[in-house]
Homo-oligomer: A and B are copies of this chain.
Amino acid sequence: MPADRSPPRPPLTVVVGRGLKHAESTHAIHAVIARDDGSLVAWHGDPERPTFPRSAVKAIQALPLLESGAADRYGFTPADLALACSSHSGTPLHVDAVRGMLTKAGIDSDSLECGTHWPFDDASARALARSGAEPCPLHNNCSGKHAGFLATARHLGLDPSGYVAADHPLQARVTRALSEMIGVPMSASNRGIDGCSIPTYKVPLAGLATAFARIGSGAGLPAARAEAFRRLREAVAANPLLIAGLGRFDSRVTASCGGRVFLKSGAEGVLCAAIPAAGLGIALKAEDGASRGVEVVMAELLLRHLPAPTADERSLLTELRAPPLKNWRGTNVGWLGMKVESGL
């Protein structure tokens, strides 16, 4: 975008408060709101800030799964499609469903190259420990996306080995989809490696906001791609717990707003959303990488930009824009909240 159109401004500030009035910490948040024609509605911080979207773009990374015909060939349900876009909590619900995706596509879970970690959900991790078991790659929060990758590779007749590498033909398709949607080239010069070992590419925040506006409305996209995003959005809306997990921001907002908001978080404080009815996309990045900061801003922005929010939507977003902080005895000891800003 030309420099005269979107010069940097001061970022938004989220205050982490202690007691009734004391600021203890603050988060600086870059925020861009874009229309699906690529124009910007508003921004704070640097709208061109180079940003690794990390897991925020899983819906784009799932395009080859749908566009290749793999999802239909293996009979993937809306729940399976939601998992392909998810950063899940590793509960038995998630793990069993991802195992089911692999079974449908005739793939062994040993093929997963996402790495292993204990479930993000503490109760599930403790239950797993209590059962005497150890975690496996299915518990990795990205296992649904990787199951989608493997199904696509199998459908296309590709050797799955090393499917996470940037030069594997599967990742070449994923990278092409990202580049087409975000509108910038992706190469070794803007590449990093994500937590689940696939490439992640540093892109301007405004490009992410525009991509999400188009994920929501389909404007300017080939019909098949717009249809693929419609299926993914509806799949996620119908399965809010699968996109993340109980109590988590992404799942709570999705459960409340249904198909009216499509949003996804990424590591290091990335959070993107589409508001299809308004043709808007929102992209947020916490300068310091803290998710608690961008969640507060997203709740605030959705309250302002979601057309005619219902009482339930308003109630949840009002709670999430000013969440209390509790200590180990459950006492309210602090709060988070965005400093009042104009032009949002």
The residue of chain B having its C-beta at the shortest distance from the C-beta of A191 within the complex is B19
A214 interface residue, CB < 8 Å from B?
no
A218 interface residue, CB < 8 Å from B?
no
Q: State in angstroms the CA–CA spacing of A145 and B134 once bound together.
A: 34
| Choice from B117, B129, B194, B287 contacting A126 with Cβ under 8 Å | B129
Do B52 and A328 have beta carbons less than 8 Å apart?
Answer: no
Q: State in angstroms the CA–CA spacing of A288 and B24 once bound together.
A: 9
Interface string of A311-342 (1 = CB under 8 A from B): 00000000000000001111101100000000
Do A114 and B328 have beta carbons less than 8 Å apart?
Answer: yes
Do A333 and B129 have beta carbons less than 8 Å apart?
Answer: no
Known: A288-B25, A290-B288. A327 touches B197 (CB 8 A): yes
A195 interface residue, CB < 8 Å from B?
yes
A192 interface residue, CB < 8 Å from B?
yes
A39 interface residue, CB < 8 Å from B?
no
Q: How large is the interface on A (under 10, 10 to 19, 20 to 34, 35 or more residues)?
A: 35 or more
Which residues of chain B have C-beta atoms less than 8 A from A196's C-beta?
327-328
Known: A25-B269, A130-B132, A289-B290. 4 other contacts (CB 8 A): A22-B52, A24-B289, A116-B328, A192-B334
A264 interface residue, CB < 8 Å from B?
no
The residue of chain B having its C-beta at the shortest distance from the C-beta of A114 within the complex is B328
| Choice from B19, B50, B122, B330 contacting A192 with Cβ under 8 Å | B19
Known: A130-B129, A193-B333, A333-B192. A327 touches B25 (CB 8 A): no
A286 interface residue, CB < 8 Å from B?
yes
Which residues of chain B have C-beta atoms less than 8 A from A22's C-beta?
50, 52, 190, 192, 202
Do B329 and A192 have beta carbons less than 8 Å apart?
Answer: no
The smallest beta-carbon distance between A221 and chain B, in angstroms, is: 29
Do A18 and B130 have beta carbons less than 8 Å apart?
Answer: no
Do A333 and B195 have beta carbons less than 8 Å apart?
Answer: yes
Known: A126-B126, A129-B130, A289-B24. A194 touches B327 (CB 8 A): yes
Known: A328-B114, A328-B140, A329-B197. A25 touches B191 (CB 8 A): no
